[in-house]
Structure 1
Amino acid sequence: MFINNGDHRDSVEPAGRRLLTLALLTVCLARGQFNPVAYSDQSDDPIANREYEIAEEMLMPAASVAELALSSLDDIKAHAATYCVTPSGFLMRTRRLNIVDTATGREYMATLREEFRSRPKQRASQPLAVNALRKYNSAEYSRSLLRQMDVGRLARSEINRVLFQNRRAVSLDDFRARL
């Protein structure tokens, strides 16, 4: 499974959306559905797909959601935070459970879209090469290769080739320190 590894504050892939994606991919895997998962948040209607229903139930159980007081968009946002999902994801769940009616759901979704569009955009910064490689290679894999180098089984040049992709700007000492 691959889930975007962007920053949680990233305007493209917030933490709640990744959590729902992880649940959805897990359900698809368990059900033998091996297809890419894509969902346009431009939709005003819940997806009619059993995998989405199961993933939603895992994260936002119907019995719990049905007990909530939901009289405003602020309530939707507050409960979304409680369940660690996006407000639009929580709104879709309430729509699927017929807790929020279609017209109100579309109004709330339009408001959420406008709020999202009008958020100040964070300028992406270029990560340090050492941090990018640390994330890409994984800490355990990197430590394992460094141990092999320390006991003399791998040459320093092999570490540079395998871990650093021959990037001369990356210092082995910096890399080791950041692990």
Structure 2
Amino acid sequence: MTNKEEVITLIDENSNQIEQLLNQKIDIWLEHVLFTGFWWLGVALSIVPWLIWFIFRNNQSTDRLLYVGFFVMVTALILDVLGSQFGLWHYRYNVIPIVPSFLPWDIALMPVTIMFFLQIKPNINPLMKAVLFALVASYIAEPFFTWLEIYQPKTWRYSYSVPIQIIIYLIAHFISRRNCFSKLD
């Protein structure tokens, strides 16, 4: 068994290596990513969905939908960071270099899409909507970002995302139907 000083030394050395790699990543980002077309695309994909949602949202359900959107954002960010950190995939052309997830997907595209799905035809079977969302996200959005070479799956397959997307949508649907909110029209 190692003593406390050895553990501290190992952890400190590991932290220093991570810091050096992050500095290298920032340098690459500053020199090769910032202000490129892909970077501007990421910025636009982080802002434009929210502008569209703001214009076309159901005003009576704004609070309810934002609550759901926040849940989706947090969930997507956590899962995306975990997948990236465990080497299941990685992203190129990040909007922010030290965040290992694709922020446009996690903070805009996914939550806004789910919020629209929830407010459009609210009486349709949520499982059907969840499956539709999961199929579009997994077999259209992910391959599109792979084709653009922004998203690079390593050991991850698009099919693995389907049940996760379904579960996220169904939980979002459940949250949106809580009694402490007004009903969707």
Q: TM-score, normalised by structure 1?
A: 0.25
Structure number with greater Rg is 1
Whose helix proportion is higher, 1 or 2? 2
Structure with more relative contact order (C-alpha pairs < 8 Å, separation 6 or more): 2
Q: TM-score, normalised by structure 2?
A: 0.24
